[in-house]
Amino acid sequence: MSDRRLEGPVRIVGAGLLGASIGLALRERGVDVILDDVSPSALDLAIDYGAGRPAADGDLPALVVVCVPPDVVARVVAAELAAHPIALVTDVASVKVAPLEQLRALGVDLSRYIGSHPMAGRERSGAISARADLFIGRPWVIAGHDAISYGRAAQVEQLALDLGAIPMEMTAGEHDRNVALVSHTPQVVASLLARRLSGATDSAVALAGQGLRDTTRIASSEPELWVQILGANAEPVAEILAAFRDDLDAMIAALQQPTAPGARRAIAESLAGGNAGVARIPGKHGQASHFSQIVVKVDDTPGELARLLTDIGEAGVNMEDLRLEHSPGAQIGLAEISVLPEVEERLVSELSARGWKIAGAFA
């Protein structure tokens, strides 16, 4: 594609979800992508999916992207800097302070290294789950440091832009503190909540609805990887969990004596605080828009969801988000459509006229 910023070649070390997704996205833009992985089978799989080609003698990558687990990032980055003396090297690990400190301790020349982190992923891993659109609209942190100039690091910004991501600059320390709040602590909380289900009765689990699915979705992530991430960012995560524990203690105290003076107020204020917090989460494309939700009944038969999406498009309405919930024991599902408030009434009217059953609409 003529509008690409990177010319390549780009070497990607690590052919898992992120590495293969970066490769697929760059290949779509016509960039020459070189793949490498310590696992021959993982490498072959990513190549079969079209994420890149094997390394060859004479390769001179302009950019190296290291996509390996956090505990080996520094070692691999150091090896890539040594092997490719004209290339800029970045990594996409979800922690940034530890690799930078380890590279400094190794005495590595940091003038060609800059850490980065795309805030994107999936619960499933490996090249089989890779997607070229994984990074579209997602933040991509670029963690600058004193040893590298802005101009020297420009290729990482170009990479993010070519992949449809939104580059954001912050220091390694700022990054780690920020992701502790918005990524690492939520993983711990979701996992601990989901752990309560392991001893639940079948009848209790049968009652599970979308709320439980939403709050535990990320609990299916790989424990081995998260042990590394949490270990590398332990201090800020522990600080946030300690504050969270204080909030839990206050809620527990109120629930243990719900009729005591002030108990209901304490519960209400805790829940209202949650309302205020969730309202700060950016919507699509980083916008802080408030959306209205329309819930539509969808028969669990082939083609019905596609027909609903077609009807929404023909109504001239842009769907901001979609969430599906299946009704246990029933051959129907509920599609929760998020739209801008000003088009809610028109979409309800249009869908009703086309025979859809509206289960609810709310702001």
Task: Give the domain CATH number at 51.
Answer: 3.40.50.720
Angle at the Cα of 189 from the Cα atoms of 185 and 191, rounded to 5 degrees: 115
- Residue 156 shares a structural domain with residue 71: yes
Specify the pLDDT at position 1. 46
- Residue 150 shares a structural domain with residue 247: no
Identify each DSSP E strand in 232-362 by its residue range. Answer: 292-299, 321-326, 332-339, 357-362
Specify the pLDDT at position 285. 47
The tens place of each residue's pLDDT in the chain, 363 residues long, gives: 457 888 889 999 999 999 999 999 999 999 999 999 999 999 999 999 999 999 999 999 999 999 999 999 999 999 999 999 999 999 999 999 999 999 999 999 999 999 999 998 876 778 898 999 999 989 999 999 999 988 888 999 999 999 999 999 999 999 999 999 999 999 999 999 999 999 999 999 988 888 898 899 899 888 999 999 999 999 999 999 999 999 999 999 999 999 999 999 999 999 999 999 988 887 654 454 567 889 899 988 899 999 999 999 999 988 888 888 775 666 788 888 888 888 898 999 999 999 999 987 766
- Residue 210 shares a structural domain with residue 163: no
Q: Is residue 41 part of a domain?
A: yes
Q: Is residue 228 part of a domain?
A: yes
Find the domain containing 272 and state its range: 177-278
Specify the pLDDT at position 70. 93
269-312, pLDDT tens digit by residue? 999 999 999 888 876 544 545 678 898 999 888 999 999 999 99
- Residue 224 shares a structural domain with residue 330: no
Specify the pLDDT at position 121. 80
- Residue 28 shares a structural domain with residue 165: yes
- Residue 197 shares a structural domain with residue 274: yes
Residue ending a domain, among 154, 171, 188, is 171
- Residue 271 shares a structural domain with residue 299: no
- Residue 38 shares a structural domain with residue 147: yes
Residue ending a domain, among 246, 278, 310, is 278
Q: Which uninterrupted H or E stretch holds 272? A: helix 263-278
Specify the pLDDT at position 88. 96
Specify the pLDDT at position 9. 96
Specify the pLDDT at position 278. 87
- Residue 130 shares a structural domain with residue 22: yes
Residue ending a domain, among 222, 248, 278, is 278
List of long-range contacts for 315-322, beta carbons under 8 Å, 24+ apart:
315/346, 315/347, 315/350, 315/351, 317/343, 317/346, 317/347, 317/350, 318/343, 320/283, 320/284, 320/289, 320/291, 321/283, 321/284, 321/291
In this structure, the number of other CB atoms found within 10 A of the CB of residue 358 comes to 15
CA 301 to chain centre: 30
- Residue 102 shares a structural domain with residue 26: yes
Number of domains in the chain: 3
Mean pLDDT of the chain: 91
